[in-house]
Structure 1
Amino acid sequence: MPTTKIFQDLSALSHAAAALFLEKAREAIASHGSCRVLLSGGDTPRLLYEILARPPYSTDVPWSKLEVFWSDERWAPADSLYSNQGMAAKLLLNHVPIPAGQIHAIAYSDNIHQTVDDYEALLHNLFPKDGSPTFDLAFLGLGSDGHTASLFPDAGLLPTDEHWVYPVFFDDPDLNRITLMPSLLNRSALTVFLVSGAGKAEIMQRFFKTPPALPLLPAQWIQPLNGKLYWLLDEAAASLLPKEKKD
């Protein structure tokens, strides 16, 4: 069963997520010498990244032992205003001592299919293919339409697809994206959804409905195979949940 924790506001949620980041990084490094972290884009994790870039986390997190990945990215150069990697670099990665070779960006090329192929090849070179955990800690967000990463309800992607990386197309090519697929995301040791704001309250109500409403939304495809799932919510996002889900 997922673990659900509710915090007063985005600030309290972000500080709790930062403490969890430090805890799990230390645990993973003590276990096997490194920690592979998956970051997400969007507005919700911005404060988390800012907190991690400042003491005590900028000094206490063993950054030299971390490897960083992304759940999805706009098909755009890293200096684009819409780049998840650019945002993480500006708010966090440029301020902590993590070796550049351990930051595994979704490298932009002018052919989206080549971008996808290159990132999937990189991941296959780094991760075993036997179903064992890939990321030690994966942060994901939730859209008000039920999407996570760039797995959108109307994108035509299937949760059973064995590909690890996939392109997502829109009518406007400037909106095209690259996303990791559930086949890889569900191999994380700990997956943490960060959800904030009243605009997410209705979709959270649907997520916690028993039995679940069908069809499942993309974020409901995230069910770690051998890992744990946490939901960190602020009170606004959790405002429509049944009382028993809040206790």
Structure 2
Amino acid sequence: MTTDRRVLVHPDRATLAGSVAARFVTKLIDLIDDEGEAHVVLTGGSVGIEVLAAIAHSPARDSIDWDAVHLWWGDERWLPRGDADRNETQARTALIDHIAIPAENVHPFPASDEGLELDAAAEAYAAELARFGRDGAEHPRFAIMFLGVGPDGHIASLFPERPGPLVSDRTVIAVHDSPKPPAGRLSLTVPVIRATERVWLVLAGADKAPALGLALAEADPASVPAAAALGTKRTVFFVDTEAAADVPESLRTPPSYWTGAMETHDWMPSSWEPSDYRRS
């Protein structure tokens, strides 16, 4: 497994969201062209949803063959279907409702009003993952996984000093004692994250700087779950300047931006190197 972590620093969160969105569109087009399909894991959080909204507003959005894309989630709050605080609801509003993706290609976690207990819901999502695994695998081959990072270093709903980051025998866990409300949550586990080809962590704000610094320093994942986030091909932290306060200069990579045939927006600076852009 690669231990290569790159940090792309952007001047502000709007530029960050637009840059990640443009990179995602280009990478997804390439992946579908090469593989015929792509399984993608979405995240919640304010910056994660801003990225999805930027994808929806991209003039290249419809260049993606959405019939070939499957969308999943890294975690979810145990709330009724359609609740405004569900990651699924926010993702639908920001992106999914605006693209021509088949309903059967969207794989949300179960909701609290669907007749399942939390532990049974975790088992149900694990079964759904396994349904799309190749050659008996427990989950699909995820091409891209978006993750947010909390100020405490949590990713998905894997929180510090809780059992979640250490679970290795399941693909999905039920979280009964989340330190952030609601207490009940569902989450993918570290083995699924580390089996993903490209892990893209997106974070902004000065409150995220300590967690980012500890993750890059390879802290104990039990205390800083973000330190466990590694992709099999690439791991990229997309951050703004405030979040990058504790990042050594040696780990920073100048970001690249798509301007190509796309309409130029105020979040798209004019520098772009195709070789840099596509490799992520």
* Identical aligned residues as a percent: 25
Corresponding residue number in structure 2 for 1:124: 130
**Aligned counterparts of 1:3 and 1:181: Cα–Cα separation in 2:** 22
User: Which of these residues, 225, 229, 236, is aligned with residue 235 of structure 2?
Assistant: 229
**Aligned counterparts of 2:133 and 2:74: Cα–Cα separation in 1:** 15
Cα 1:48–1:213 shift into 2, 3 Å: closer
Q: Give the superposition deviation at 1:78.
A: 2.5
User: Which of these residues, 106, 110, 124, is aligned with residue 107 of structure 1?
Assistant: 110
Over residues 177-235 of structure 1, what are the superposed CA-to-partner deviations in whole Å (9 max), with x where a residue is unaligned?
000001111111111000111111122222233xx4445511111223x3211111110
SS in 2 for 1:77: coil
SS in 1 for 2:17: helix
SS in 2 for 1:29: helix
Cα 1:194–1:32 shift into 2, 3 Å: same
Corresponding residue number in structure 1 for 2:81: 78
Amino acid at match of 1:239: A
**Aligned counterparts of 1:195 and 1:207: Cα–Cα separation in 2:** 12
Gaps of 5+ in 1: none
Amino acid at match of 1:13: L
Amino acid at match of 1:81: A
Cα 1:158–1:6 shift into 2, 3 Å: closer
The answer to which of 198-207 and 170-179 deviates more is 170-179
- Whether 2:247 is the aligned partner of 1:241: answer yes
Over residues 135-177 of structure 1, what are the superposed CA-to-partner deviations in whole Å (9 max), with x where a residue is unaligned?
1111101000010000001322243512000011127984310
- Whether 2:226 is the aligned partner of 1:219: answer yes
Gaps of 5+ in 2: 254-280
User: Which of these residues, 123, 145, 149, is aligned with residue 138 of structure 1?
Assistant: 145
The answer to which of 200-209 and 91-100 deviates more is 200-209
Q: Give the superposition deviation at 1:93.
A: 0.3
Contact 1:132 1:187 in 2 (8 A): no
Corresponding residue number in structure 2 for 1:175: 183
- Whether 2:24 is the aligned partner of 1:16: answer no
Corresponding residue number in structure 1 for 2:196: 188
Amino acid at match of 2:91: A
Contact 2:74 2:187 in 1 (8 A): yes
**Aligned counterparts of 2:143 and 2:207: Cα–Cα separation in 1:** 29
Cα 1:132–1:177 shift into 2, 3 Å: closer
**Aligned counterparts of 2:103 and 2:123: Cα–Cα separation in 1:** 21
Corresponding residue number in structure 1 for 2:61: 58
SS in 2 for 1:143: coil
TM-score (norm 1): 0.91
Q: Give the superposition deviation at 1:237.
A: 0.3
SS in 1 for 2:227: helix
SS in 1 for 2:163: coil
Corresponding residue number in structure 2 for 1:201: 209
Q: Give the superposition deviation at 1:242.
A: 2.4
Over residues 48-106 of structure 1, what are the superposed CA-to-partner deviations in whole Å (9 max), with x where a residue is unaligned?
11111124133222222111000000111221121000000011100111010100111
The answer to which of 73-82 and 214-223 deviates more is 214-223
- Whether 2:150 is the aligned partner of 1:147: answer no
Contact 2:129 2:138 in 1 (8 A): no
RMSD: 2.1
**Aligned counterparts of 2:182 and 2:11: Cα–Cα separation in 1:** 36
